[in-house]
Amino acid sequence: MTVSIRPATPADVPTMLRFVRELATYEREPDAVAATEPMMAEALFGGDPAAAALIAEREGEAIGFALYFFTYSTWTGRRGLWLEDLYVTPEARGSGAGAALLRALAGVALDRGCARFEWTVLDWNTPAIDFYRAKGAVPLDQWTTQRVEGEALVRLAGRG
């Protein structure tokens, strides 16, 4: 059974949101997903798309997805590809879908002139870390992700 990769379409939004919720549950944050189908549809297919996605299929059934967007590096002078989410259903893990999604994303990065292809992974997610290392990814241990959200974001903007 061959895995195929294709660009997501608006019809895929319910499936992708289901995958996001399944991923959030796996990542021990089952109640953290605030996104809705209309929000995701607008973000991916609206007038000013914020991101794009690929769907992994086997025999016409969606078994995974990858959602990505572009960044820019002042150091390289080129864009980068940021992988926001990569998810393969538990029953499809080991089918090659994850590797196919990464390979397709690497191709997108090269086609778009990206200098980098980056993402984060939870430090306890050993299966994912091992998978990424086997594909050639290296950790950036000297960098830590910083986040401002909610009321802190409002205060930082001077609006609260």
d(CA 13, CA 18): 9
132 in catalytic set: yes
> What does the angle CA 48 – CA 25 – CA 142 come to, to the nearest 5 degrees?
70
Task: Give bridge partners of residue 81 from the DSSP assignment.
Answer: 70, 117
Helices (H) and strands (E) in the chain, counts: 5, 5
Catalytic residue among 26, 68, 72, 132: 132
106 contacts 118 by C-beta, under 8 angstroms? no
Active site amino acids? 132
